[in-house]
A and B are shown apart, each in its own frame.
Chain A
Amino acid sequence: MTAHVLPPAPPVQRPRVLVVGAAFAAAASFMVFVGLIGVYLTARADVISAGSAWLPKGVSIPLQQPNTMFITLIMTVFTMQWAVAAIAKNDRVNAYLALGLTLMLGIATIVMTTYLWHLMKLDVASGIQGVLIYTITGAHIVMLVLAMLFVALMGLRALGGQFTARQHDGITAAAVFWYAMVAVYALIWISIYVTK
């Protein structure tokens, strides 16, 4: 062993491993939808430029349910941030309440999506429209379920006392992924539901 020739190390900042990892995962998930929506917009432009209507005859996509889902998901941004702020103050009751509300609103979004699928009367085998719309909205439901599992897992860890005001990266990481999921829905809302 050699002598201590180098200066002592300064205090190190706590590495936010889980938050950074969640941000990378969120970015990758976001890019899946960028790819899907890119194909959707190209296909729709091709159909419309050929003089046809985008949606097949007899198919209509109402705007009420997508708007309701969008508002619901915007509410979850606030409840999720409420959870982060509460755990940062060691206010566990508010953190549990906020996480629970977030999960409930997530379930409501899934229910509303399936109701919208029922209302649309669009067959997946009807052509390019069915494949694209069901793939994109279905993939979003998958991302929502993953985000809910992430939130629930972090909620359980919070219940187990693993997070404190100083160390609550798990909740923050779940929030990062959740916000990405909401941003993805915003993309879907504008591309599929509003500009149809």
Chain B
Amino acid sequence: MALTDTRPESGTDASAVAPSVVPSPLTIFGTGDHKAVGTFYVLAALVFGIAGWIAATLASAHIIGSGSFLTETTGTQLLQTSKLGLILLVIVPLFLGLGTYVVPLQVGASTVAFPRAAAAAMWTWLLSSGVFIVASFIDGGLGGTRAKSVSLTLFALGGLIVALLLGTVCVLTTAITLRTPGMTLDRVPMFTFSMVVGGAIWLLTLPVLLANVLLIWVDHRYGGGTVFGAASSQFGQVAWITHEPQLYAFLVPGLGIVADIAATLTGARLGQRNLLLFAIGAFAVLSVGAWAQPAIYPNFSEDLVWQAMGLLTLLPLLMLLAGVAAAFKDGKPSLKSPLGLAVVSVVLTFLGVLAGALLVITPFELRTTNFFANGQYVLVIGAALTAAIAGIGYWGPKMTGGQLADGLGKLNVLVTLGGGVLGGISLCVLGFATRFSGLSGSHDTLVVVSAIGTALFAIGSLIAIGSLLSGARKGAPEAGDNPWGTGQTLEWACSSPPPTGNFGDLAVVRSPEPLLDEEA
């Protein structure tokens, strides 16, 4: 323990006992330990990430040339399932897993709020994910022809959303109620703040998705199946989560991860911190997209509010980028892989949001085909995945107790950058084919490039698993409490991995960087 002053009672057991080990699948059954739950979320989401990106690659490969190797229905279902799956089975759970693990540590809490509910949420998510994948495989994807399989998919989707909402409630409640004394909401670390605002947006918008799923299910199962349950309209009713502005809501925690990494690995306090908090908050608010549902509001893309949101989102992002750049200027950047991954995530985020700004400009005619929007999807989801992988590399030593293999992380910098640039930009370029007829002839080439890019993200997810496990291998160098040596926030004040109860006694926090205060 680096901070030794007496910590007042906070309503939870703050006693620290012997450090726990990395959870094994056998020990995790029945546990309510937020660290075990968080780690399991992360590992399972990365495994689903491999499957999801492979599905996206196959869906791209399906439209190359004229010799499709999948039937039209299967190809469409694969694309739709991968788009939904990458959000609900990969990105949200990755951030939720990191949040379940890290947020209690960052706010100085001994546990996550409602630990058993958090564990129940994780298991429900895992079970629903399995059912979703299996049902999708047996022609049950949205719009599938096997009625019972489609019912199963819808049921699993409902379970997924409820589980993710429950997990979000646990993390949000932790950040709001279990903060250590002195840690006001404007002093919480950037990742915790981004989980609070991002989680709040999830809490307000994912229930609307649940409403859509409920209507589809009731009509499909009990109604005539001609309105909400009609095969051709099912995906259209939930597709709004894969479009801007809602798509950005799944990126918000990634912004906090990038800011935390930039502060620690440059060794500088983040200047204009309140402005950065405002930027993250504004980005989150501008990502509320539950109202822009093409199924009930077909002309939403002509709406001035939608167009303004697409353009305005650039502003808070630029503010955040300026803050991160200032940290690079003020500090001494350490060339570690989490920093490289954070930079890649920033680049992909900027490209994704820039693409979104172009998409809303009607004269560009980028909404005529789906290519540009699909390219933007790959950029934004790729940016979110890269931010999560950066977070895994950053907090990995804390999670495993050992130093991660930095070579794997550095390899992932290249892989994720390649994935985003090839997978996203090639489709965005193809989106201009309606304006530049010469591009039409490059259709197959650009789609092949995109498929290579999405395959790279599958490889990146695999490398991230290897990287995390490398910290738990025998013989890995011990991480110590503060493996980067420049940690500023409370998670670096407890041992690695943290003991049960996380902290013994904590001092009253007097600034957003309590560890720097103690050194001073």
Q: Is the interface of B mostly helix, strand, loop or mixed?
A: loop
Taking Cβ atoms with an 8 Å cutoff, the residues of A that contact B are 1-12, 14-17, 20-21, 24-25, 27-36, 38-39, 42-43, 124-128, 130-132, 134-135, 138-139
Give chain B nearest CB distance to A23 CB in angstroms: 9
Contact of B297 with A by CB under 8 A: yes
Among residues of B, the one whose C-beta sits closest to the C-beta of A14 is B11
In the bound complex, CA of A43 to CA of B215 (Å): 12
Query: Is there contact, CB below 8 Å, between B214 and A135?
Result: yes
Query: Is there contact, CB below 8 Å, between B6 and A8?
Result: yes
Query: Is there contact, CB below 8 Å, between B203 and A11?
Result: no
Between A and B, 26 residue pairs with Cβ closer than 8 Å are A1-B4, A4-B4, A6-B507, A8-B5, A9-B5, A9-B181, A10-B181, A15-B178, A21-B113, A24-B168, A24-B169, A24-B203, A25-B169, A28-B169, A28-B207, A31-B203, A32-B207, A32-B208, A32-B211, A34-B211, A35-B290, A42-B296, A124-B218, A125-B222, A125-B224, A138-B218
Query: Is there contact, CB below 8 Å, between A20 and B207?
Result: no
The 8 A CB mask of B184-200 against A (1 = contact, 0 = none) is 00000000000000000
Give chain B nearest CB distance to A38 CB in angstroms: 7
Contacts of B365 in A (CB 8 A): none
Query: Is there contact, CB below 8 Å, between B223 and A38?
Result: no
Given A8-B6, A9-B181, A21-B173, check contact A36 B211 (CB 8 Å): yes
Query: Is there contact, CB below 8 Å, between B227 and A131?
Result: yes
Contacts of B518 in A (CB 8 A): 2, 5-6
Give chain B nearest CB distance to A124 CB in angstroms: 5
Query: Is there contact, CB below 8 Å, between A130 and B223?
Result: yes
Contact of B463 with A by CB under 8 A: no
Given A35-B212, A131-B215, check contact A12 B8 (CB 8 Å): yes
Given A7-B508, A12-B10, A125-B222, check contact A31 B2 (CB 8 Å): no
The 8 A CB mask of B497-520 against A (1 = contact, 0 = none) is 000000000011010000000100
Taking Cβ atoms with an 8 Å cutoff, the residues of B that contact A are 1-11, 113-114, 117, 165, 168-170, 172-173, 176-178, 181-182, 203-212, 214-215, 218-219, 222-224, 226-229, 290-291, 296-297, 507-508, 510, 518
Give chain B nearest CB distance to A3 CB in angstroms: 8
Query: Is there contact, CB below 8 Å, between B114 and A31?
Result: no
In the bound complex, CA of A124 to CA of B221 (Å): 10
Given A9-B8, A15-B11, A21-B113, check contact A29 B207 (CB 8 Å): yes
Among residues of B, the one whose C-beta sits closest to the C-beta of A32 is B207
In the bound complex, CA of A38 to CA of B237 (Å): 13
Query: Is there contact, CB below 8 Å, between B5 and A12?
Result: no
Query: Is there contact, CB below 8 Å, between B172 and A17?
Result: no
In the bound complex, CA of A4 to CA of B5 (Å): 6
Among residues of A, the one whose C-beta sits closest to the C-beta of B212 is A35
Query: Is there contact, CB below 8 Å, between B227 and A6?
Result: no
Query: Is there contact, CB below 8 Å, between B173 and A36?
Result: no
Query: Is there contact, CB below 8 Å, between A127 and B208?
Result: no
Q: Which of A6, A39, A128 contacts B211 (CB 8 A)?
A: A39
Give chain A nearest CB distance to B223 CB in angstroms: 4
In the bound complex, CA of A47 to CA of B214 (Å): 21
Query: Is there contact, CB below 8 Å, between B4 and A2?
Result: yes
Contacts of A16 in B (CB 8 A): 177
Give chain B nearest CB distance to A181 CB in angstroms: 14
In the bound complex, CA of A34 to CA of B205 (Å): 10
In the bound complex, CA of A30 to CA of B205 (Å): 11
Contacts of A29 in B (CB 8 A): 207
Among residues of A, the one whose C-beta sits closest to the C-beta of B224 is A125
Give chain A nearest CB distance to B201 CB in angstroms: 11
Query: Is there contact, CB below 8 Å, between A132 and B113?
Result: no
Contacts of B229 in A (CB 8 A): 131
Contacts of B2 in A (CB 8 A): 2
Given A6-B507, A9-B8, A15-B11, check contact A125 B223 (CB 8 Å): yes
Residue of B114, B176, B178, B205 with most partner-chain A CB within 10 A:
B176
Give chain B nearest CB distance to A95 CB in angstroms: 23
Extra contacts, 15 of them, besides A2-B518, A32-B208 (Cβ < 8 A), are: A9-B5, A12-B181, A15-B10, A24-B173, A25-B169, A27-B204, A32-B207, A32-B211, A35-B211, A36-B211, A125-B223, A125-B224, A128-B228, A131-B222, A131-B228
Q: Which of A1, A3, A28, A43 contacts B203 (CB 8 A)?
A: A28
Residue of A20, A35, A130, A134 with most partner-chain B CB within 10 A:
A35
Contacts of B212 in A (CB 8 A): 35, 39
Contacts of B176 in A (CB 8 A): 20
Query: Is there contact, CB below 8 Å, between A39 and B215?
Result: yes
In the bound complex, CA of A95 to CA of B471 (Å): 54
In the bound complex, CA of A122 to CA of B182 (Å): 58
Contacts of A6 in B (CB 8 A): 3, 5, 507-508, 510, 518
In the bound complex, CA of A132 to CA of B296 (Å): 13
In the bound complex, CA of A10 to CA of B507 (Å): 10
Query: Is there contact, CB below 8 Å, between A1 and B11?
Result: no
In the bound complex, CA of A4 to CA of B507 (Å): 9
Q: Which of A28, A125, A134 contacts B165 (CB 8 A)?
A: A28
Q: Which of A20, A32, A39, A127 contacts B177 (CB 8 A)?
A: A20
Contacts of B227 in A (CB 8 A): 127-128, 131
Contacts of B290 in A (CB 8 A): 35
Query: Is there contact, CB below 8 Å, between B114 and A17?
Result: yes
The 5 closest A-B CB pairs, nearest first, are A35-B211, A35-B208, A31-B207, A15-B177, A6-B507
Residue of A1, A30, A32, A139 with most partner-chain B CB within 10 A:
A32
Among residues of B, the one whose C-beta sits closest to the C-beta of A138 is B218
In the bound complex, CA of A33 to CA of B207 (Å): 8
In the bound complex, CA of A130 to CA of B223 (Å): 8
Contacts of B507 in A (CB 8 A): 6, 9
In the bound complex, CA of A130 to CA of B508 (Å): 58
Query: Is there contact, CB below 8 Å, between A139 and B207?
Result: no
Query: Is there contact, CB below 8 Å, between A9 and B508?
Result: yes
Given A2-B2, A10-B8, check contact A36 B214 (CB 8 Å): yes
Query: Is there contact, CB below 8 Å, between B210 and A32?
Result: yes
Given A27-B203, A28-B207, A131-B228, check contact A36 B215 (CB 8 Å): yes
In the bound complex, CA of A42 to CA of B295 (Å): 10
Q: Which of B8, B172, B224, B296 contacts A11 (CB 8 A)?
A: B8
Contacts of B169 in A (CB 8 A): 21, 24-25, 28
Given A28-B207, A31-B208, check contact A17 B178 (CB 8 Å): yes
